Amino acid sequence: MKKNNEKGFSLIELLVVVIIIAIVAAIAIPNLLASRRAANEASAISSLRTIHSAEATYQATVGGGTTYGTLTQLGPSPGAGLIDSAIGGTGGTSQKSGYNFALTTGAQIYCATASPVTAGTTGNAYFGVETDGVIYKHTAALTCAAGDLTPAGSPIQ
């Protein structure tokens, strides 16, 4: 029993507070992770739009109207400076906001893909863009074959 001059919390009161905090965390953490995945996916779509715009600019200027550039050629110095270093990687691939980006070029065509670094954690969807500028979304990994995305995804714009 507490005496009138004792101050503080009982063990039961502390346990109730801990249980309430655990319940709130159990509700909030999945929503936080879902929001992060959605943000990563939005960033991947935006990056593919940037790559498409950079390819159009590269083809019209440096490419002489016929050639598209690699991520390295589109990126900062020694590239054309059309995309930032986060997506202007070397060797045809780069990583940004939980997504891996790959770009392949061919005779007057290009194809770029964005795949989650860890599927289900950093993102659920796979994205790609071709020379026509339409961004596609799919639940399975997209690959570029002769400038075409396979499997065919659903256009998102």
pLDDT digits (tens, 9 = 90+) for 111-133: 999 999 999 899 999 999 999 99
For residue 22, what is the DSSP state?
A: H
Ramachandran assignment for 80, one of left (phi > 0), alpha (psi -120 to 50 degrees), beta (any other) = alpha
Entry pTM: 0.82
Of 13-22, 49-58, 61-70, 90-99, least confident by mean pLDDT is 90-99
pLDDT score for 111: 92
Q: In whole numbers, what is the pLDDT of the chain averaged over residues?
A: 89
- The answer to whether 144 and 152 are in contact (CB under 8 A) is no
pLDDT score for 123: 94
Range 83-106 average pLDDT: 85
- The answer to whether 141 and 115 are in contact (CB under 8 A) is yes
- The pLDDT-based confidence of 20 (bands split at 50, 70, 90) is very high
Task: With a cut of 70, say whether residue 3 has pLDDT above it.
Answer: no
- 83-103 b/e with 16+ CB inside 10 Å = b? beeebbbeeeebebbbbbbbb
For residue 132, what is the DSSP state?
A: T
Residue tagged 């101050």 (tokens)? 7
What distance in Å separates the CA atoms of residue 89 and residue 69, rounded to the nearest whole number? Answer: 12
pLDDT score for 90: 67
Q: Which comes out higher in pLDDT, residue 9 or 91?
A: 9
Show the domains of the chain with their CATH numbers. 11-155 (3.30.700)
Task: With a cut of 70, say whether residue 77 has pLDDT above it.
Answer: yes
pLDDT score for 46: 95
